[in-house]
A and B are shown apart, each in its own frame.
Chain A
């Protein structure tokens, strides 16, 4: 079975540039999560969607970050403009509403120089 699919796996970009990270959740899952992982802060929940609707975006650091889920099989996390402190691994994850187990993708490794 295909797991959560993320792209790109690695991205290096210059400060000020726009970054778009993409995610395809596991088919049939109706909750989707974006996490950020850094050495200093560990795993942080940025936003989560249920049935394509953003439920909680309290973890989004600032207005430079935005996330969309136009349909059940696709989501994006956008950073504009990017800054060096945004360098981190960004994970997308999905779950069945009643299962609660969250399955993670392999992550998008972002470096902003």
Chain B
């Protein structure tokens, strides 16, 4: 069946380096994608989104890239900081309703 999944469950990165978190999706009808950050003990927090008519979108220290050809989504975090340590989820919406399908999540740990 259709699913959203993450390539790697964990990522360890040195403070100040750039982080890249990857996500694969299988629903070719998906037209809206969101990255969420979940810190320990908190709810998922919206980071950035992108629609299928775009292939790149930038925010503050974050960039989301969308490759529809290979159904791949990535989140790049520039100059990773200790506060970036969290679980990151990608989510997709096929546009037919308001439901989001979430991936399993990637745990990012920032080393000082």
Q: Is B104 an interface residue (CB 8 A)?
A: yes
Q: Is A43 an interface residue (CB 8 A)?
A: yes
Please pick, from B32, B42, B102, B105, the residue contacting A100 in the complex, using a CB distance under 8 A: B32
Q: Which A positions have Cβ atoms within 8 angstroms of B?
A: 4, 31, 33, 42-43, 45, 48, 50, 55-56, 91, 93, 95, 97, 100-107
Q: Determine if B102 and A42 form an interchain contact, defined as CB atoms under 8 angstroms apart.
A: yes
Query: Could you say which residues of chain B place their CB within 8 Å of the CB of A93?
Result: 43
Q: Determine if B97 and A56 form an interchain contact, defined as CB atoms under 8 angstroms apart.
A: yes
**Interface size on B (CB < 8 Å)?**
20
Q: Which B positions have Cβ atoms within 8 angstroms of A?
A: 32, 34, 36, 42-46, 49, 89, 91, 93, 97-100, 102-105
Interface SS majority for chain A: strand
Query: Could you say which residues of chain A place their CB within 8 Å of the CB of B97?
Result: 55-56
